[in-house]
Amino acid sequence: MLAVILSGGSGTRLWPLSREAFPKQFLPVVSDETLLSETISRGLALGDDVQVMAITNEEHRFVVAANLHDKASGRTAGIILEPAGRNTAPAIALAALAAAESNPDELLLVMPSDHVLRDQKAFAEAVAAGAEAAGKGKLVTFGIVPDSPHTGYGYIRAGHDKGAWSLVDAFVEKPDEQTAKGYLDEGGYFWNSGMFLFSARRYLDELGTHQPEMLAACKAAFEGKSGDLDFTRVDKAAFEACPDDSIDYAVMEKTRDAVVVPLDAGWSDVGSWSTLWDENGNASHGDVILEDVSGCYLHSEGRLIAALGVTDHVIVETDDVVLVADRHRVQDVKKLVARLKAQGRPEYKLHRKVHRPWGTYEGIASGERFQVKRITVNPGASLSLQKHHHRAEHWVVVKGTATVQRGEEELLLTEDESTYIPLGVTHRLTNPGVIPLELIEVQTGSYLGEDDIVRFEDTYNRV
């Protein structure tokens, strides 16, 4: 079995914790592990012969790779990069084409990277039932046993019962509350989890039957693939010509072989702030003090949140944003994100701490013609050989050891030592040690944007 993890979402509904450049699947939202890491572990726990493949995009590729290397070393089947977002049906087609190269009958367990499942045993039992159905040529979807008349999910109506699974009678769009209550009273309705199981061959056959143009575009893109470090890049022009559609619309609603396996395993898609707490009480994370507060969720990333006399609120603090929202309006957080994006503000996309393949940098202070950052370089990692047209840089090492290439010079700096990189001088920063390198960078100049970089060499093949 191949666990195919879809990791291309932007997670705007959990803003400001989740940002476009670092969405919720890369965050420890409900435990000490990231949602992506939990998803990888969930797949690997199904058996020693299970491998993991990820589908992601250019921007998130190094974070996905780091999570895979951390959790699935030796059991990774690759990372496929989508050059453009074309929804889930083409993404899964790329995974199926990759699997079919070695075994067309390989079973693909497709999982979003940003969901929560609390009962691994129940999940494993459902997957085993699904594998039996998939072995008979069925296309399996997992239906979440509903515990409330939720209006934020699509539903699956089960048809003829085949024991551990049922034929899919229909996929139903998100209902209003009265309709959802009727579904629960009637029984036989499940939430659509977005998880699937089928063989590579069967999925490609059904896609060719119902969406031949999509399959042709995906085949052309895959045939033009090339390797880049840990990643497989498909042909950009061919993939951009692919129709945009979800697996639900493209295949599952059209095939005659769709079946649903019930799943009752403490599932959540963590789709909004309201999914993270019991709305009849309070829930908090971090440094929070409450007095006469009810029905609230409060999340502090650092600073103290002190709340008095408020009801039904979501309050989220990060180092650059404070969100205060009516809990009944949290689905509309994306409207705030859209406004920030339209105004050209960076908060819709970036946290103050920005992740790079070599480590992180964090903005500390800025003003006219200067900017201060805290830079952390992972052991053995190196920034690109580069220069800047508009800024000079001053580096002070506060922890670890740095090797600095500055023009024709090479310097070794330890704690409390510093150097100066004049404007226009080629330079590179490397951590030769076994602990993280931390330094303070002071930039001065007429323009301090991140795009003022000319790269000459780069370990990570960035342009």
Given a cut of 70, whether residue 432 has pLDDT beyond it is yes
- Segments in 292-392 forming alpha helices (H): 333-342
What is the average pLDDT across 310-335? 93
pLDDT of residue 395: 97
pTM: 0.89
pLDDT in tens, 341-350: 999 999 999 9
Which residues are CB-contacts of 260 (< 8 A; sequence separation ≥ 6)?
140, 141, 142, 143, 156, 158, 165, 166, 167, 168, 190
Contact between residue 208 and residue 107 where contact means Cβ atoms under 8 Å apart: no
What is the average pLDDT across 267-287? 82
What is the 8-class DSSP label of residue 153?
S
* CATH architecture of the domain with residue range 2-268: Alpha-Beta Complex (3.90)
Given a cut of 70, whether residue 274 has pLDDT beyond it is yes
Given a cut of 90, whether residue 225 has pLDDT beyond it is yes
What is the average pLDDT across 131-155? 93
**Confidence class of residue 98 from pLDDT cuts 50, 70 and 90?**
very high
110-149 per-residue burial string, b: 16 or more CB within 10 A, e: under 16: bbbbbbbbeeeebbebbbebbbebbeeebbbbbbbebeeb
pLDDT in tens, 42-80: 999 999 999 999 999 999 999 999 999 989 888 999 999
Q: How many CA atoms lie within 13 A of 436 on its CB side?
A: 11
List the beta bridge partners of residue 171. 156
Given a cut of 70, whether residue 4 has pLDDT beyond it is yes
Angle, CA 341 vertex, CA 338 and CA 344 arms, to 5°: 155
Write phi, then psi, for 432 (nearest 5 degrees). -85, -5
Burial label for 48, CB within 10 Å (0-12, 13-18, 19+), is exposed
Q: Strand ranges (DSSP E) for 357-408?
A: 359-367, 370-377, 385-387, 391-399, 402-406
What is the average pLDDT across 355-366? 94
pLDDT of residue 279: 57
pLDDT in tens, 375-419: 999 999 999 999 999 999 999 999 999 999 999 999 999 999 999
pLDDT of residue 462: 85
Sign of CA dihedral 91, 26, 70, 381: positive
What is the average pLDDT across 10-32? 88
Given a cut of 90, whether residue 463 has pLDDT beyond it is no
pLDDT in tens, 162-190: 789 999 999 999 998 899 999 998 999 99
Given a cut of 90, whether residue 309 has pLDDT beyond it is yes
Question: Hey, how many other C-beta atoms are within 10 angstroms of the C-beta on 300?
Answer: 18
- Percent pLDDT > 90 in the chain is 85
Report how far residue 346's alpha carbon sits from residue 340's, in angstroms, rounded to the nearest whole number. 8
Report how far residue 54's alpha carbon sits from residue 68's, in angstroms, rounded to the nearest whole number. 8
Report how far residue 111's alpha carbon sits from residue 6's, in angstroms, rounded to the nearest whole number. 6
Report how far residue 222's alpha carbon sits from residue 220's, in angstroms, rounded to the nearest whole number. 5
pLDDT of residue 280: 62
Strand-pair category, 139-144 with 258-263: parallel
Q: How high does pLDDT run on average in the chain? A: 94
Which one is the CATH code of 353-457: 3.10.20.30, 2.60.120.10, 3.30.930.10, 2.40.30.10?
2.60.120.10
Strand-pair category, 297-300 with 313-317: parallel
pLDDT of residue 94: 97
pLDDT of residue 278: 58
What is the average pLDDT across 335-344? 95
What is the average pLDDT across 141-167? 90
* Distance separating the N- and C-terminal Cα atoms of the chain: 35
Question: Of 204, 212, 205, 214, nearest to 238 (Cα)?
Answer: 214
Provide CATH 3.90.550.10 ranges for the chain.
2-268
